[in-house]
Structure 1
Amino acid sequence: MLPFQTMHEAEMALARPLTFAERVWFRYSAQIPDFWLYCHNILFLFLIFSVAPLPLAFIDINNSKSLSKYKLQPKIRLPSHAIFKCYKDVMFMFIFVVGPLQLCSYPTVKLLGIRTGLPLPSGWEIFFQLLVYFLIEDYLNYWIHRLLHCKWGYEKIHRVHHEFTAPIGYAAPYAHWAEILILGIPSFVGPALVPGHMITFWLWIALRQMEAIDTHSGYDFPLSPAKYIPLYGGAEYHDYHHYVGGQSQSNFASVFTYCDYIYGTDKGYRYQKQHLAKLREQWGRGEQNGDAYHDPREAHSLTERGLELLALPDDGVPRLLLDTGCGLGLSGETLSEKEHHWIGLDISKSMLDVALKREVDGDLLLADMGQISKNLVPLGHQRHTRVCRAPKQSTH
């Protein structure tokens, strides 16, 4: 609530005319208590989370061919009921965890010195404050995220977020309630160190939520912010973290990639990109163990499928998974509960060639690296398995 009854009083106090933005702010906020202005944050969170991921969900459900080429894990698509369940679970968490947390944090916000009055900050002031907020939150979030990947933190808390090995926008805040509370703390550290206006705080919370949705979108579009913002990881960068799953010790950064680079936790990701680039070049030329594919379409098919299936964890060993059932792309733990049986293979280039050809022939079904679970059946322990597509013969 502003301490002025009229715009004239405000102009007299500032010793200058109000700008257009300040006039709009005066008309809107003059009679609204500061607490209710702060509560706008909750409304913004609900609206952004409900609306922003919606186009991505429609693309997934409709399986648009023109946009599917931008999907990072194109073979994994959640049905509409699974997407709605994710949304419902997150909204439940918003209502009973995030909302109360926002309301209870108001005294802290006032103590930090976040103001609601005039004058309004300049555009450059808002920009640099937001940059500081992102850098501070990103650094703290990196270390918290890294700690959550220790054995206890992952099994007790963080594994909930990793139920989606192929992320979707609605899964950005899908997490254990304790993780939501813990990761909410860094969001207030920046405003505490560099207090700003309530408008800046609104923008900070809104942009951070939109960034999380973009990072978990599962799509790498040509106009993705990651292609234009320096050091911004984006969806492709974070998708690798979910793709590898709970065993991942790479790509912990939530926004920027500098921490992963400085502390060496992006080596698996960079090695994978280099290796897959070489494979793409080889397969693009039709090379296959010194021989050439006779059909260019076959080479292209194997190239794309190989790039989807092959992944290099941090130890640099390519692995492939054989699934004896049909899954929805959730975590290995979820799939094992549904009685899916996995066989993990440390696979060479020649083995990958054979596996890809057999899948094309319909002999077996291959699964993405992101489906790894803690209880993989070692190769050789299960001699005969049934496959869920065209089970013409048993596999080893």
Structure 2
Amino acid sequence: MEPSLESSSPLLLQSLWDRIRAQEDFLCSPLFPVLFSLTLYLSCCLPYLCLDTLSSRVDLVHHYKIQPQSRVTWVMAWSCLATSLHTHSVFIFPLSILHWYWRPVVLPAQAPGALHVAWYVLVCLLLFDLQYFVWHVLHHKVPWLYRTFHKVHHRYTATFALTTEHSGVWETLSLGLFAAVNPDLLGCHPLTKMLFFTLNTPTKNDCLNGTTELKKWTECMSEDPTVKATMYPNETYKAFNKGYFEWKSSFYCCL
């Protein structure tokens, strides 16, 4: 049962909210959502990019790479960054202007209660995770969706942080829509929305940059018939498959 959210005192967050509201003109401008999104995304990617740079020099870092045999080049990194910058400037910024014109942001004077924030941030994270899971499965299982929209996300077989948003316009905007609409549907306070976006961005990035289980998942995706049929000609795929899995045959399975 949902906790008594309104009874949680807003005083804990009021000081923080007052400082944020002091920048109200900027927060309500159409430029803020674009800069906020890009700043969060690049800040989350930077530590992983540093680790990729160190991995060729530090054995301890190299040992924990998902793909020890792969090498991330600056050309690959710049290509992903350019795609993200282009999408934000050409598509997201104009949409932000339209939203600013039709539904201007209003910042209430009172901060939400701490329990209110914690509850709705958790709900938004779980809801977005469910939506992303269903969306992703559909784009891998429906050949037309994969070929038309999702294929660009798998352009680089080497896993690195900037590939998390290396995707087509449809993919970026649809996932952005999920993230933006959920807090509105739940009637979240603007501070709750900001904290949700702040936590959601590193969560998305981290899911593509860790753990042994991710290795198994990545290999399963590479074995997906739709992926093989739309990404690789037969001979190319055989060469990729051999080079990719020879380093760790114990992971060559699908759970």
1:148 equivalenced with 2:139 (yes/no): yes
Deviation at 1:342, TM superposition (A): 4.8
Cα distance in 2 for partners of 1:101, 1:80 equals: 30
AA matched with 1:133: C
Distance 1:160 1:237, change over 3 A: farther
Look up the match of 1:86.
Answer: 80
Deviation at 1:237, TM superposition (A): 4.4
Which of these two proteins has the greater Rg computed from alpha carbons?
Answer: 1
TM-score using structure 1 length: 0.50
Higher-helix-fraction structure: 2
Number of residue pairs matched by the alignment: 231
- Of 363, 367, 372, which aligns to 2:243? 367
Deviation at 1:84, TM superposition (A): 2.2
1:137 equivalenced with 2:128 (yes/no): yes
Deviation at 1:144, TM superposition (A): 1.7
Higher-strand-fraction structure: 1
CA contact (8 A) 1:48 1:206 kept: yes
Cα distance in 1 for partners of 2:114, 2:173 equals: 31
1:160 equivalenced with 2:152 (yes/no): yes
Deviation at 1:37, TM superposition (A): 6.1
Counterparts of 1:61-100 in structure 2 under 5 Å? 61-62=53-54, 63=56, 64-100=58-94
CA contact (8 A) 2:51 2:61 kept: yes
Cα distance in 1 for partners of 2:28, 2:106 equals: 13
Look up the match of 2:177.
Answer: 185
Cα distance in 2 for partners of 1:159, 1:242 equals: 15
Distance 1:341 1:193, change over 3 A: closer
CA contact (8 A) 1:130 1:200 kept: yes
- Which blocks of at least 5 consecutive residues in structure 1 are unaligned? 1-17, 221-235, 250-330, 346-364, 371-396
Distance 1:190 1:46, change over 3 A: same
Deviation at 1:130, TM superposition (A): 0.9
Cα distance in 2 for partners of 1:139, 1:151 equals: 21
AA matched with 1:180: T
AA matched with 1:121: P
Residue aligned with 1:196, SS: coil
Distance 1:30 1:134, change over 3 A: same
TM-score using structure 2 length: 0.75
Deviation at 1:120, TM superposition (A): 0.7
CA contact (8 A) 1:161 1:176 kept: yes
Cα distance in 2 for partners of 1:54, 1:177 equals: 23
CA contact (8 A) 1:42 1:99 kept: yes
Distance 1:57 1:118, change over 3 A: same
Cα distance in 1 for partners of 2:134, 2:173 equals: 15
AA matched with 1:91: L
Distance 1:146 1:109, change over 3 A: farther
- Which blocks of at least 5 consecutive residues in structure 2 are unaligned? 1-9, 247-255
Look up the match of 1:59.
Answer: 51
Look up the match of 1:293.
Answer: none
- Of 114, 117, 124, which aligns to 2:115? 124
1:205 equivalenced with 2:209 (yes/no): no
Comparing both chains, which one has the higher relative contact order based on Cα–Cα distances under 8 Å and sequence gaps of 6 or more? 2
Deviation at 1:76, TM superposition (A): 1.3
CA contact (8 A) 2:80 2:165 kept: no
Residue aligned with 2:238, SS: strand
CA contact (8 A) 1:165 1:243 kept: no
Deviation at 1:132, TM superposition (A): 0.8
1:343 equivalenced with 2:238 (yes/no): yes
